Amino acid sequence: MPASIVVQKPVVAARQLILLFHGVGSNAQDLVPVGQQFAANYPDALVVSLEGLQASDFGQGRQWFSVMGVTEENRPGRVAAVMQDFRSLIEQLQKTSGVSAANTTLIGFSQGSIMALESTQTQPALAAHVIAFSGRFASVPTHPAHGTSVHLIHGDADQVMPVESSRTAAKLLQALGVPVTLDIERDVGHGINARMVSAALSKLPSERRN
């Protein structure tokens, strides 16, 4: 299993599992501040920031799949090639923590969001909630993500992953009957600010908090 950072481990048995997936060329440390915000609101959650499955093509950090020479045509295949390993990471943490998919939340940023969103097109469901910061689907979703709500959050000044990718994802998911929300943050580029984290927290049921 690639290196990961346990942001929070409850003293008693975890009731929830919150997993974070960073962007390309980054590492598990990158999303620790976001994980800490969720930990503060959900003290009974096991919160883990995971590192990408592969060393980055660019010589620094990690990645979930290769972006060297990536195109719209070959991206889906690259995601599909690593999806089982991605699922296995999540399923192993669910097994060791004793927390089911119904009490799991996946939080991705950029490439991590691509993986989290694409996982909703596989079965069985991995999580009750997917929060995708600055993300997109690699392929057009073709069926509902049964048991999973999707929350898309994006800066409107993003020059790396254009905000239109989240707008398109929201429309596609709505057409499939998937519970989906879309929050667009004005004048924010490819990143996550405090208001975006607050928007993400607001999407989770308040009864999950202590």
Q: Are 111 and 86 in contact (CB under 8 A)?
A: no
In terms of DSSP bridges, do strands 54-55 and 129-133 run parallel, antiparallel, or are they unpaired?
A: unpaired
Which CATH number characterizes residue 81's domain? 3.40.50.1820
Q: What is the pTM of this model?
A: 0.96
Taking the C-alpha atoms of residue 29 and residue 51, their distance in angstroms, rounded to an integer, is 8
User: What would the pLDDT profile of 125-172 be if each residue is shown by its tens digit?
Assistant: 999 999 999 999 999 999 998 899 999 999 999 999 999 999 999 999
Taking the C-alpha atoms of residue 24 and residue 87, their distance in angstroms, rounded to an integer, is 18
Catalytic residue among 110, 113, 149, 165: 110
What's the confidence (pLDDT) of residue 210?
Answer: 43
- Answer yes or no: 183 catalytic: no
- Answer yes or no: 129 catalytic: no
Number of domains within the chain: 1
Catalytic residue among 49, 97, 158, 166: 158
Catalytic residue among 57, 66, 139, 190: 190
- Answer yes or no: 202 catalytic: no
Q: To which residue do tokens 């999707």 refer?
A: 150
User: What would the pLDDT profile of 16-44 be if each residue is shown by its tens digit?
Assistant: 999 999 999 999 999 999 999 999 999 99
Distance of CA 185 to the CA centre of its chain: 18
Q: Three-class SS of residue 185?
A: strand
For the beta carbon of residue 6, count every other beta carbon within 10 angstroms.
11
In terms of DSSP bridges, do strands 16-21 and 45-50 run parallel, antiparallel, or are they unpaired?
A: parallel
Domain enclosing residue 81, as ranges: 4-208
User: What would the pLDDT profile of 35-78 be if each residue is shown by its tens digit?
Assistant: 999 999 999 999 999 999 999 998 889 999 999 999 999 999 99
Sign of CA dihedral 188, 119, 53, 37: positive
Output DSSP code: residue 3: -
Q: Give 123's Cβ-side CA count (13 Å radius).
A: 6
What's the confidence (pLDDT) of residue 145?
Answer: 85
